[in-house]
Copies of this chain bind each other. A is one copy, B any other.
């Protein structure tokens, strides 16, 4: 079910915050001008459903602001998050008319949307978009496989540390080696992402706090003075550096 929230003011592509990372990253000025004519912004409040699993998907979109989740479910209600969409990430698949996943706004969310058919046409005309979409899909595939390693082989503590690390690496860095951030996910969403229960997530966060690896500010705020230490807890082979 699409919840209709008033569209926020349209931003010109040239000034768009995700201009250089989204599916349109490689487009030139002319192409952007064309995109400007067919795009539409729409917003959702945190918790609202954007698309239901199995529902018709008559659009493609980029996340402009906020955070959305992709989840798959079994009949009996067990659910697993299979993707976490941050600004510049893409929703939709050329040649596919129904959504294989449920899409939910994790925080307040704004999408830059294209109706399906015009977008298909765009893909045919603009090689820059096809190229960028391939790159982004391959990045998603790598991320999904990394997540498979986490789901299949990491302990609860390592899983929680890995997620915190992902969020912290995307956020403000303070003095050398430290960072703080607001979690975009509730405990329930974290559990769905990690293949755990909310109780276990809560216990592991508490444990990491008691062990001095992180400190908390309220339910959503986390701070970590030593990302290398956190990376160690996450079972990572490498360093605590920021992603590119």
Q: CB within 8 Å of B: which residues of A?
A: 70, 72-76, 78-80, 82-83, 93-95, 100-101, 127, 130-131, 133-135, 137-138, 140-142, 144-149, 151-154, 194-195, 235, 237
The answer, among B82, B133, B148, for a CB contact under 8 Å with A82, is B148
* Complex CA distance for A147 and B149, rounded to whole angstroms: 11
CB pair A75–B235 under 8 Å, yes or no, is yes
Contacts of A75 in B (CB 8 A): 235, 237
Given A72-B145, A137-B138: A151 and B195 interface contact (C-beta under 8 Å)? yes
* A-B contact list, 24 entries, CB within 8 Å: A72-B146, A72-B148, A74-B154, A74-B237, A75-B235, A80-B149, A80-B153, A82-B148, A82-B149, A83-B145, A93-B138, A94-B134, A95-B135, A100-B142, A100-B145, A130-B134, A133-B134, A134-B134, A141-B144, A144-B144, A144-B145, A148-B151, A152-B194, A152-B195
CB pair B141–A140 under 8 Å, yes or no, is yes
CB pair A80–B141 under 8 Å, yes or no, is no
Given A93-B138, A138-B93, A141-B137: A235 and B149 interface contact (C-beta under 8 Å)? no
Which chain B residue lies CB-closest to A96? B138
Contacts of A127 in B (CB 8 A): 127
Contacts of A131 in B (CB 8 A): 130
Minimum distance in angstroms from A8 CB to a CB of chain B: 30
Given A80-B152, A135-B95: A145 and B237 interface contact (C-beta under 8 Å)? no
* Complex CA distance for A100 and B95, rounded to whole angstroms: 29
* Complex CA distance for A82 and B70, rounded to whole angstroms: 19
